[in-house]
Amino acid sequence: MKHALIFTAALSALILGGCNAEPKPVAQSGPVTSRGDANVGGPYTLVNQDGETVTQASFVGTPHLVFFGFTYCPDVCPMGLQQMGAALDELGKDKTKIQPILISLDPERDTPELMAQYITANGFPENLIGLTGTPEQVDVAVKAYRVYAKKVSLGEDVDDYTIDHTSYIYLMDKNGKYAAVFTKHDSPETIAAQIKPYLK
Ligand code: NI
């Protein structure tokens, strides 16, 4: 059982803080996301901040960064998106060669209109795209990227909830294939350096 214990500890370490004030280690069922996992990504159909349908095929030809979050997230998502913005700034003029994408984990509240406002926040990537959709559409994307996300009630009201979630930044190459994953511990410089070879 020693092996199982070590595995559990490693898994807990992988689950980065969610949007709860006190993120707890979470037992995850199903596939585990890890660095170097080539099975991340896949087909999805979502709606962008302008209400237009977008699929994974929409980004073929352009390397992209994918982050899952939600607009009501108090700190983790803004920090992740600012980290993304800082990393892209490190690329200088080459930052236009990569497409940053936010996919909502909260389709019930995150309308395209709300996403349109949110993606313009200070420090976020300038050309950030915000994708949302029906809960079913979002679920497909969540599963494709093996993201852990769980709705957590904060009170009696059905609208009073937050979402615990992993906060990785996924680098997908111009063919939409998984290339790398970054955590909150990666500096903008580190992320930029790993992105550079994919911009050619
Ligand atoms: Ni968040």
- Judged on CB neighbours under 10 Å (0-12, 13-18, 19+), 33 is buried
In percent, the amount of the chain with pLDDT more than 70 equals 81
> Any residues with CB less than 8 A from the CB of 193 and at least 6 apart, and which?
none
* Amino acid (one-letter) located at 25: P
Residues with Cβ–ion distance below 5 A, ligand 1: 19, 69, 73, 76-77
Give per-residue pLDDT as tens, 142-189: 999 999 999 999 998 888 999 999 999 999 999 999 999 999 999 999
What does the alpha-carbon distance between residue 140 and residue 80 come to, in Å, rounded to a whole number?
Answer: 22
pLDDT tens digits along 46-56: 999 999 999 99
Gap from CA of 3 to ligand 1 centroid (Å): 31
Predicted TM-score (pTM) of this structure: 0.82
| Residue 199 tokens, joined | 């911009």
Give distance in angstroms: CA of 16 to centre of ligand 1.
10
Spell out the residues 6+ positions from residue 126 whose beta carbon is closer than 8 angstroms to its own: 85, 88, 95
List domains and CATH numbers for the chain: 2-199 (3.40.30.10)
Higher local confidence (pLDDT), 122 or 19: 122
Give the pLDDT of residue 36. Answer: 54
How far is the centre of ligand 1, averaged over its atoms, from the C-alpha of 122 (Å)? 16
